[in-house]
């Protein structure tokens, strides 16, 4: 069997066909209309197995029965076959995700999970581990507090804001964000950094700004769970987060955020201060 053929069998197997089904389908796809006997000879799949799986491939819509005598079969075009398998895989994943949410709901209040109260873990951003951060957004009930350097906020708005703000808006969660004043300068000079669909959603966020760089990046959910960045990384997808439910750590994170929030300024306050500064006249010295 050519190497490429073996790789194609493996891919089709990953998409939901059994190995025998994949071999039979590829044989028909490459060689055209064939009888079950011819399929068995060309594919290397035993004839009795071919007879067993042909009804399954017909039911899945992967092959069609040719109007011939003796009975023969032909594969549907590869493009259509891949589309069918991908669609079925997507439906399976949706159903699996639904079941995963159900089991989380059933077990989230179990006493067996009380060890979570003192858990401290490291979570990379991006990839499969992003699911853990997503769960924090899904589990939040009242509040989400975030601190962002200017560049990280722009990345967040472009990659993660859509689904995170969807949760905030639909469940009326209070979101506060502390960003650097530099963000206002960037947006003023380059308004295109925010997608048009994102701009209306900004009204659901309470913003405040600080002049100095944000030295600690935080995510705090319901004031009970804190994620604290542990690396100086400019790419939001490569960040490493320390996540903790430990009350002592969470209290420190909350205290830091509230102190920063108290001293930060809104955009209106910054604009008003700039106007006052511009209106001040130099004091002439009396000789």
* Residue 285 confidence class, pLDDT cut points 50, 70, 90: very low
What is the number of other CB atoms lying within 10 angstroms of the CB of residue 159?
Answer: 14
Structure tokens at 31: 């060689």
CB 208 within 8 A of CB 221: no
Instruction: Give the count of alpha carbons within 13 A of 152, CB side only.
Output: 25
CA atoms of 33 and 145, how far apart (whole Å): 62
Orientation angle between helical segments 19-31 and 36-43, nearest 10 degrees: 110
Q: What is the pLDDT of residue 53?
A: 93
Question: Considering the chain, what percentage of its residues have pLDDT values greater than 90?
Answer: 37
* Residue 282 confidence class, pLDDT cut points 50, 70, 90: very low
Is pLDDT at 258 greater than 90 in this prediction? yes
Strand intervals (E) in 62-185: 63-66, 72-75, 120-124, 143-148, 174-180
More confident residue, 31 or 241: 31
Angle at 253 between CA 227 and CA 148, to 5 degrees: 60
* Residue 274 confidence class, pLDDT cut points 50, 70, 90: low
Is pLDDT at 270 greater than 50 in this prediction? yes
Residue-range domains of the chain with CATH: 3-80 (1.10.10.10), 116-278 (3.30.870.10)
* Residue 30 confidence class, pLDDT cut points 50, 70, 90: very high
Is pLDDT at 246 greater than 70 in this prediction? yes
Q: What is the pLDDT of residue 1?
A: 46
Q: What is the pLDDT of residue 114?
A: 47
More confident residue, 51 or 118: 51
Mean pLDDT, rounded, of the chain: 83
Q: What is the pLDDT of residue 152?
A: 86
Give the best-scoring range by mean pLDDT among 99-108, 142-151, 185-194: 142-151
Is pLDDT at 284 greater than 50 in this prediction? no
Residue 134 CB contacts under 8 Å (≥ 6 apart), including other chains: 163
């Amino acid at each position: 069997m050519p190497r490429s053929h073996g790789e194609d069998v493996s891919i089709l197997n990953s998409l939901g066909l059994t190995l025998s089904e994949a071999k039979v389908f590829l044989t028909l796809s490459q060689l055209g209309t064939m009888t079950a006997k011819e399929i068995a000879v060309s594919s290397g799949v035993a004839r009795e197995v071919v007879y067993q799986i042909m009804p399954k491939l017909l039911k899945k819509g992967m092959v069609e029965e040719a109007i011939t005598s003796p009975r023969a079969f032909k594969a549907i075009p590869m493009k259509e076959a891949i589309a069918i398998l991908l669609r079925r895989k997507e439906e399976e994943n949706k159903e699996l995700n639904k079941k995963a949410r159900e089991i989380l709901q059933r077990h989230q209040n179990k006493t067996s999970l009380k060890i979570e109260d003192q858990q401290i873990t490291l979570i990379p951003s991006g990839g499969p581990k992003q699911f853990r951060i997503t769960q924090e957004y899904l589990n939040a009930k009242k509040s989400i507090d975030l601190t962002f350097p200017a560049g990280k906020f722009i990345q967040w708005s472009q990659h993660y804001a859509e689904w995170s703000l969807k949760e905030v808006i639909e469940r009326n969660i209070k979101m506060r964000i502390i960003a650097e004043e530099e963000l206002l300068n960037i947006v003023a000079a380059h308004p295109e950094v925010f997608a048009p669909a994102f701009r209306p959603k900004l009204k659901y966020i309470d913003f405040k700004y600080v002049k100095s760089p944000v030295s600690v990046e935080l995510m705090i959910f319901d004031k009970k769970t804190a994620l604290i960045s542990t690396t100086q990384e400019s790419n939001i997808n490569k960040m490493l987060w320390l996540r903790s439910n430990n009350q002592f750590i969470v209290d420190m994170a909350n205290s830091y955020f509230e102190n920063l929030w108290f001293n930060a300024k809104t955009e209106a306050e910054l604009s008003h201060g700039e106007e006052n500064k511009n209106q001040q006249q130099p004091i002439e010295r009396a000789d």
